[in-house]
Chain A
Amino acid sequence: MVVAERVRPDQQILKWRERIVEVIRQREGLRALLLAGPGGLWLLLFFLLPIAIVFAYSFAHRGPYGTVAWAFTIENYTRFFDWLYIRVFLVSVWLALLSTIICLVIGYPFAYVIARAPRRWRNALLVLVLIPFWTNFLVRTYAIMLLLRADGLINNALLWLGVIERPLPMLFTPFAVVLGLVYGYLPFMILPIYASIEKFDFTLVEAAQDLGANTWHVFWRVLLPLTLPGVLAGSILVFIPSVGAFVTPDLLGGGKVVMIANLINQQFLTVRHWPFGSAVSFVLMAIVLAATMLYFRLGEGRRV
């Protein structure tokens, strides 16, 4: 009974409101401006303009005391081709790819089981996936640190079992970083794959079996191709934040595993070479945009 309880505003105000609404109703351009305006303004001022400034900075010189000197150069980009920085780039892409693949290998069968579970279990299982996902990322990364420390639970357990004699150095290794990335972004893989398997028509499996396909064939020839949109979406959703990850390599890599985001951080806050930091930022953006474009290209080819 929402309608009945409304307070009657003053008739005059009502009339004016109606009149204003009438004008907005008749002019679509005005309507669009009013609706899209606030968001557009925010986007322009606090996103596009800042990015544009970074772009401009990436062609500038470093001034004294970490200031920016306006003189055009492409040195910041050529400098990137130093092996030191190429390595950071390669490590980032490699660790992100590895994390994506591990997420896929764990996530696909996981999503499959949830999607095939009885309907009343499905939501409960999904909530169980979502709870760690909605937990603060820093808290989760911290929890991993606790487990991996030299005096953490895993090392203690292994020592107690006699598997090892000295604590294994696990924290501050690429292993820890990949573990952290997988832990952080696994739900990003599971959810879209779940969505596509849930939509999948399983009578197609019966049809394939009826035509003589075994389980293996059914998976590769029927299930996987038809759930590929979910796989692609999940992969891009894991890869993009992984390749640009900052907290995970910072805390779990402890300065020993340096990814692109750490390099940017270093250039901005420690070295104070903002133009080079800006150039690295644009390299990172290029990787991400390339991955996104690849995703759309692959997705388009798949859409029959």
Chain B
Amino acid sequence: MSTSGIELTVGLTRSATQGETGMGGMRPLERPIDVELVELTKVFDNGVVAVDRVSLQIHQGEFFSLLGPSGCGKTTTLRMIAGFEHPTSGEVLIEGRPMGNTPPFRRNVNTVFQNYALFPHMTVYDNVAFGLRMKRIPRDEIARRVREALQLVRLQGFEERYPRQLSGGQQQRVALARALVNRPRVLLLDEPLGALDLKLRKEMQLELKHLQMTVGITFIYVTHDQEEALTMSDRIAVMNAGRVLQVGTPVEIYERPSSRFVADFIGESNFLRGRVTEVGPGEVTVALDGGFPISVRCDQPPARGTEVTVAVRPEKIRIAPAEAPEANGLVRGRVEEVIYIGTDTFYVVRITDETVVRVRSQNDRNRLDGGQLLPVGTPVSLDWAPDAARVLTE
């Protein structure tokens, strides 16, 4: 977003009218809560539990993502916040007010739909002006606000076009302008970039993030793309099968996944099964199924004898030939596959009959000719820092 864009949008930003200064210095989690979900549950007519006792607190000005595979309930959660679905039980609170069965048109939130849902029979101008007209705002104010909103998304001059005359990226921006022009308390975005091609999606990710910082509105963003969520969000709630598994910043979610699902869904993880043999302060020793005892840092150590899974990300593992002097590794195995992808090399290492470990090794040495890759069949030793691995009890 250009600087001129930022200046022009002052009128749009909520914080400009109600205390940018007051809020600006506060860290996100200290700000007031905009949206709160309390034990929110949705059971569909066919008995499917789409959302299962979800409780979340989303703060003012946050970029909050609901992340999960398709069918995990993230879209249903969003639709309940918007008012398109009514909760079976639990409550949605917006600005502290319970919403009950309040219809969508009486909620101070706006949605950017997955397929944009632009009105095909209206021009860009009429699309953006729609919400303001419904609120019977004076005509000249509508004109002014629509102009601002279109400038914000850099679509000046497109007022008289129809949606079908726009590219996917432009349609998406119209959808954003149409929602933002109403100055909602919260903007809900349902996989808004899903229909765009990869390159445009990457561009729009950054643009969206900048836009959110400019207007200062709370964004609740639904996506199944973990990279997208990590790139843009202040906080992420990872969902699966209707439940929220973990809430945290991107770093927390990636570095300290609390469950096997999160570790697997966000990035890539190796899962090694084992049993706790020793419990120390902030550290446990786990005997892996292959027989190797390793020590793993752990905040809430489980009891001795517990069956656990140790998760370790491929890029955290150092790999070295078994006979090399520095090979005092934690685990030994044999290279089974080598996949060279330019920046990195993937090794698939078999450590027991049942278990393989994937290792991602950065090709960061000055010269790398084929001879420096470890050939298939090489006995290797694997090694990682104690705090690189996580003990998962689930």
Please name 9 pairs of A and B residues whose Cβ atoms are closer than 8 Å in the assembled complex, sorted by A: A1-B126, A2-B126, A3-B126, A3-B129, A3-B133, A4-B129, A4-B133, A4-B139, A8-B136
Measured in the bound complex, the distance between the Cα atoms of B136 and A4 in whole Å is 10
Contact of B130 among A3, A8, A25 (CB under 8 A): A3
* B125: nearest chain-A partner, CB-CB: A1
Residues of B within 8 A of A2 (CB): 122, 126
Measured in the bound complex, the distance between the Cα atoms of B133 and A275 in whole Å is 63
Measured in the bound complex, the distance between the Cα atoms of B125 and A4 in whole Å is 12
Nearest chain A CB to B117's CB is how many angstroms away? 17
Residues of B within 8 A of A4 (CB): 129, 133, 139
* B130: nearest chain-A partner, CB-CB: A3
* B139: nearest chain-A partner, CB-CB: A4
Nearest chain B CB to A15's CB is how many angstroms away? 13
- B residues lining the A interface (CB < 8 Å): 103, 122, 126, 129-130, 133, 136, 139
* A8: nearest chain-B partner, CB-CB: B136
* A25: nearest chain-B partner, CB-CB: B103
Nearest chain A CB to B107's CB is how many angstroms away? 15
Known: A3-B129, A8-B136; 10 extra A-B contacts, CB below 8 A, are A1-B126, A2-B122, A2-B126, A3-B126, A3-B130, A3-B133, A4-B129, A4-B133, A4-B139, A25-B103
Residues of A within 8 A of B122 (CB): 2
Measured in the bound complex, the distance between the Cα atoms of B119 and A1 in whole Å is 12
Nearest chain A CB to B375's CB is how many angstroms away? 43
Residues of A within 8 A of B129 (CB): 3-4
- Mark each residue of chain A from 7 to 27: 1 if its CB lies under 8 Å from any CB of chain B, else 0: 010000000000000000100
Residues of A within 8 A of B133 (CB): 3-4
Measured in the bound complex, the distance between the Cα atoms of B129 and A2 in whole Å is 12
Count the A residues whose beta carbon is within 8 Å of the partner chain — how many?
A: 6
Nearest chain A CB to B36's CB is how many angstroms away? 26
Residues of B within 8 A of A1 (CB): 126
Measured in the bound complex, the distance between the Cα atoms of B126 and A48 in whole Å is 47
Nearest chain B CB to A247's CB is how many angstroms away? 42
Contacts across chains A and B counted by CB atoms under 8 Å: 12
Residues of B within 8 A of A3 (CB): 126, 129-130, 133
Nearest chain A CB to B118's CB is how many angstroms away? 15
Nearest chain A CB to B124's CB is how many angstroms away? 12
Measured in the bound complex, the distance between the Cα atoms of B136 and A198 in whole Å is 47
* A6: nearest chain-B partner, CB-CB: B133
Interface residues of A in 21-51 (CB under 8 A from B): 25
Measured in the bound complex, the distance between the Cα atoms of B293 and A5 in whole Å is 78
Interface residues of A in 133-179 (CB under 8 A from B): none
Residues of A within 8 A of B103 (CB): 25
Q: Which 3 A-B pairs have the closest CB atoms?
A: A3-B133, A1-B126, A3-B126
Nearest chain A CB to B283's CB is how many angstroms away? 59
Measured in the bound complex, the distance between the Cα atoms of B126 and A164 in whole Å is 72
Nearest chain A CB to B215's CB is how many angstroms away? 25
Measured in the bound complex, the distance between the Cα atoms of B130 and A245 in whole Å is 53
* A26: nearest chain-B partner, CB-CB: B101
Measured in the bound complex, the distance between the Cα atoms of B103 and A2 in whole Å is 24
Measured in the bound complex, the distance between the Cα atoms of B8 and A286 in whole Å is 74
* B103: nearest chain-A partner, CB-CB: A25
* A22: nearest chain-B partner, CB-CB: B103
Nearest chain B CB to A37's CB is how many angstroms away? 25
Residues of A within 8 A of B126 (CB): 1-3
Measured in the bound complex, the distance between the Cα atoms of B287 and A157 in whole Å is 104
Residues of B within 8 A of A25 (CB): 103
Measured in the bound complex, the distance between the Cα atoms of B122 and A2 in whole Å is 9
Measured in the bound complex, the distance between the Cα atoms of B146 and A3 in whole Å is 15
* A3: nearest chain-B partner, CB-CB: B133
Nearest chain A CB to B120's CB is how many angstroms away? 13
Nearest chain A CB to B318's CB is how many angstroms away? 52
Point out which of A3, A4, A25 has the most chain B C-beta atoms below 10 A from its C-beta: A3
Residues of A within 8 A of B130 (CB): 3
Nearest chain B CB to A77's CB is how many angstroms away? 47
Nearest chain B CB to A76's CB is how many angstroms away? 49
Measured in the bound complex, the distance between the Cα atoms of B122 and A73 in whole Å is 65
Interface residues of A in 240-258 (CB under 8 A from B): none
Measured in the bound complex, the distance between the Cα atoms of B99 and A264 in whole Å is 65
Measured in the bound complex, the distance between the Cα atoms of B101 and A25 in whole Å is 12
Measured in the bound complex, the distance between the Cα atoms of B139 and A1 in whole Å is 12
Residues of A within 8 A of B139 (CB): 4
Nearest chain B CB to A46's CB is how many angstroms away? 36
Measured in the bound complex, the distance between the Cα atoms of B122 and A1 in whole Å is 7
Measured in the bound complex, the distance between the Cα atoms of B119 and A2 in whole Å is 12
Nearest chain B CB to A52's CB is how many angstroms away? 36
Measured in the bound complex, the distance between the Cα atoms of B130 and A8 in whole Å is 16
Measured in the bound complex, the distance between the Cα atoms of B130 and A157 in whole Å is 68
Measured in the bound complex, the distance between the Cα atoms of B139 and A4 in whole Å is 8
Measured in the bound complex, the distance between the Cα atoms of B114 and A125 in whole Å is 39
Measured in the bound complex, the distance between the Cα atoms of B122 and A3 in whole Å is 10
Residues of A within 8 A of B136 (CB): 8
Measured in the bound complex, the distance between the Cα atoms of B303 and A148 in whole Å is 101
* B123: nearest chain-A partner, CB-CB: A1
* B134: nearest chain-A partner, CB-CB: A3
Measured in the bound complex, the distance between the Cα atoms of B287 and A61 in whole Å is 97
Nearest chain B CB to A9's CB is how many angstroms away? 12
Measured in the bound complex, the distance between the Cα atoms of B103 and A3 in whole Å is 21
- Mark each residue of chain A from 286 to 297: 1 if its CB lies under 8 Å from any CB of chain B, else 0: 000000000000
Interface residues of A in 77-134 (CB under 8 A from B): none
Measured in the bound complex, the distance between the Cα atoms of B126 and A4 in whole Å is 9
Measured in the bound complex, the distance between the Cα atoms of B130 and A25 in whole Å is 22
Measured in the bound complex, the distance between the Cα atoms of B280 and A270 in whole Å is 108
Nearest chain B CB to A116's CB is how many angstroms away? 28
Nearest chain A CB to B294's CB is how many angstroms away? 55
Measured in the bound complex, the distance between the Cα atoms of B126 and A1 in whole Å is 6
* A1: nearest chain-B partner, CB-CB: B126
* B132: nearest chain-A partner, CB-CB: A3
* B142: nearest chain-A partner, CB-CB: A4
Residues of B within 8 A of A8 (CB): 136
Nearest chain A CB to B290's CB is how many angstroms away? 50
Nearest chain B CB to A1's CB is how many angstroms away? 6
Measured in the bound complex, the distance between the Cα atoms of B139 and A25 in whole Å is 30
Measured in the bound complex, the distance between the Cα atoms of B129 and A1 in whole Å is 10
